[in-house]
Structure 1
């Protein structure tokens, strides 16, 4: 899979256990809406770094195994999120007109982490979403092929 690298700025990482675990409450809003509201509130309250500030520039790559985020300067891999641990991906434009991508990963049975990245524009967000969708489709197709293939019968002597 030779997919393009998507340039972004890594803004923040936060644990969001309470948002995920309380997702089944009586609220009719989706998890995506709750996460975006959480991030925008944190941004307005100054709990997130100022957008466009001194965040680290990174490249994101989507492979058949998951998401890889590497430092733009050193090319060292900073973060890997296997597809199986990717709970949510959404993109949004904040109140200041900046486009963001949000990844939520389930790193253990009780720990959920949110990764916030600032993208160049909506086109980069669309490409990222398309690449992740295609990775899941390919994984599902590969899984279906494995289930169809029957193991060889033991020979009876």
Structure 2
């Protein structure tokens, strides 16, 4: 894939096991609960402040395998999230006018992590969402092709 690199600031990572495991209310979606959790954390000062140096500038790339986040300064890969472990991707504008990108990954059977990034603008966050959506569509199509292909019949001796 020759998809673009999306520039953003990596803000925070949090474990959200209790939010996912205790959040069985049918009246609100997981996305709504996570955005509310982040906004409350921000208002209570539990998220790092945006003072320029506290957030690392990163590039996000979407491949057929998943999401890759690399340091903009060193170009080293900081995080890989396979498509199969990506539970949720959403974007939202916070009360301070910043466009936030949220990833939730299920890295083990009982560990859920939320990654919060700030996009440079709405357009780049929309591009990222479309790239991830297309990666899932391509993975589903490839999986369907594999299921359709029949194994070769054994040769008769």
Q: 1:23-102 alignment to 2 at 5 Å?
A: 23-25=23-25, 27-53=26-52, 54-102=54-102
Distance (whole Å) between structure 1 residues aligned to residue 114 and residue 63 of structure 2: 20
CA distances 1:107-129 after superposition (whole Å, capped 9, x unpaired): 00000000000001111111010
CA distances 1:18-68 after superposition (whole Å, capped 9, x unpaired): 11112323x501100000000000001000001353200000000000000
1:117 aligns with 2:107: no
Shift of 1:130: 0.3
Shift of 1:10: 0.3
Residue 107 of structure 1 aligns to a residue whose secondary structure is: strand
Using the size of structure 2 for normalisation, the TM-score is 0.97
Distance (whole Å) between structure 1 residues aligned to residue 33 and residue 50 of structure 2: 20
Runs of 4+ in 1 over 6 A off after TM superposition: none
Aligned to 1:3: 3
Tell me the C-alpha RMSD between the 2 structures. 0.9
Distance (whole Å) between structure 2 residues aligned to residue 52 and residue 100 of structure 1: 16
Distance (whole Å) between structure 1 residues aligned to residue 63 and residue 44 of structure 2: 36
Distance (whole Å) between structure 2 residues aligned to residue 52 and residue 33 of structure 1: 27
Distance (whole Å) between structure 1 residues aligned to residue 106 and residue 127 of structure 2: 23
Using the size of structure 1 for normalisation, the TM-score is 0.97
Aligned to 1:139: 139
CA distances 1:53-107 after superposition (whole Å, capped 9, x unpaired): 3200000000000000000010000000000000000000000000000000000
Distance (whole Å) between structure 2 residues aligned to residue 56 and residue 20 of structure 1: 27
- Which stretches in structure 2 are left out of the alignment for 5+ residues? none
- Which stretches in structure 1 are left out of the alignment for 5+ residues? none
How many pairs align? 156
